[in-house]
Chain A
Amino acid sequence: MHVSVDWYVALSAILFAIGAAGVMLRRNALVVLLSIELMLNAGNLSLVAFSRTWGVQDGQIFAITVMAIAASEVVVGLGIVVALSHLRRELDTDELVELHG
């Protein structure tokens, strides 16, 4: 008995769906950002699992690049959240409609 690559990819699918649920259900902008991180990590897990399947390193390079991009995304996202917090008390994503036409 051993763990096949299917299990890792299925786990990543489940984690991705949980992250998507967070983005759809939560209103707090911070929790939405946390859920986006969950989804990025789910993608990373399947990249790494496939990299191991084929024995090539491209997937790992991809995963490490995703980590760097995710870190930049967090910096910009949290910067926006902090800037918004100076203007209003709540961080409700339904209320943040300043850019509506």
Chain B
Amino acid sequence: MNPIVAWNPELPGAPFVVILFALFSLLAIFGAVRVVTASDPFISALSLLFNFVSLGALYLLLGQDFVAISQILVYAGAVVVLFLFVIAYLGDRRELAADATRGKLLRPAGVLASVALALVLVSAVAAAKLPTPVTPQKTDAGFAFGSPQAIGEAFMTKYILIFEATSVVLLVAAIGGVVLGLTGRARHDRLRKLMQTRSADQQKRLHDVRERELRDERSAVAFDEEVRG
């Protein structure tokens, strides 16, 4: 258990915990709102980083050291950096102003739906009468609750199947990333052709171009023969 313990009012740091919770939850909400509202994907990704770090701090307040540090390492360290790489690679792709106003009716409807979702969930939580947290016990092997040792012990004994299954999922995802990302020229061209043949109009245009080229070629050959003959 880390020194910042959330639920013990007798602890000297208890009022401090309330202040920290308020601070980091507001920061998390601010980051989340910026993710959704920023028109630049780069700003969205950086706001997501903000949100992830705030959530990591909240995990620390909950006394879950290992989850907090994995949050920072995995999400803030790996996921957000991957997003930033892809955004930088793709270049500037803001949503055009025309796009933003296209669904005039759908936009307020989406806002309304999400506000309703938030209200329903929060009122359900408020009505739920959740129990006062128990004081966490040490594990059978004597490790503190939420410590890396305790998590490792759980993963290696009770949850070994989940651990192995997760490794298989990660391997499959890595292979999928390679297949999706590092495609060869041939696959690339095939996909492009597939996209082009989608529209009948485009197909006709391509056909016309090919026809004309063929005709030009034929007449050129005929001209050639005439000149030689």
Q: Report the interface size for chain B: residues with CB under 8 A from the other chain.
A: 96
Cα(A91)–Cα(B154), bound, Å? 42
Given A68-B169, A87-B192, verify A57-B145 contact (CB < 8 Å): yes
B36 proximal to A (CB < 8 A): yes
A3 contacts B64, C-beta separation under 8 Å = no
B48 contacts A72, C-beta separation under 8 Å = no
Q: How far is the CB of A101 from chain B (nearest CB, A)?
A: 13
Cα(A60)–Cα(B59), bound, Å? 10
Q: How far is the CB of B29 from chain A (nearest CB, A)?
A: 6
Q: Report the interface size for chain A: residues with CB under 8 A from the other chain.
A: 73
B64 contacts A34, C-beta separation under 8 Å = no
Among B7, B110, B135, B136, contact of A21 (Cβ-Cβ < 8 Å): B110
Cα(A80)–Cα(B90), bound, Å? 13
B114 contacts A78, C-beta separation under 8 Å = no
Given A15-B28, A22-B36, verify A5-B180 contact (CB < 8 Å): no
Q: Which residues of A contact B33 (CB under 8 A)?
A: 18
Given A6-B130, A41-B51, verify A67-B155 contact (CB < 8 Å): no
Of the stretches B12-20, B204-212, B221-229, the one at the interface is B12-20
Given A31-B44, A74-B79, A83-B183, verify A90-B93 contact (CB < 8 Å): yes
Q: Which residues of B contact A64 (CB under 8 A)?
A: 66-67, 70, 151
Interface on chain B toward A: helix, strand, loop, or mixed SS? helix
Cα(A98)–Cα(B29), bound, Å? 35
Q: How far is the CB of B88 from chain A (nearest CB, A)?
A: 11
Measured CB to CB, the nearest residue on chain A to B91 is: A85
A61 contacts B155, C-beta separation under 8 Å = yes
| Known contacts A52-B64, A76-B176; 20 further A-B pairs (Cβ under 8 A) | A2-B14, A5-B133, A8-B62, A9-B130, A16-B118, A17-B114, A22-B35, A22-B36, A24-B110, A24-B113, A30-B41, A37-B75, A37-B79, A52-B133, A54-B134, A64-B151, A69-B166, A72-B169, A78-B82, A78-B177
CB-based closest 8 A-B pairs: A79-B180, A72-B173, A13-B121, A17-B118, A21-B114, A24-B110, A22-B36, A55-B136
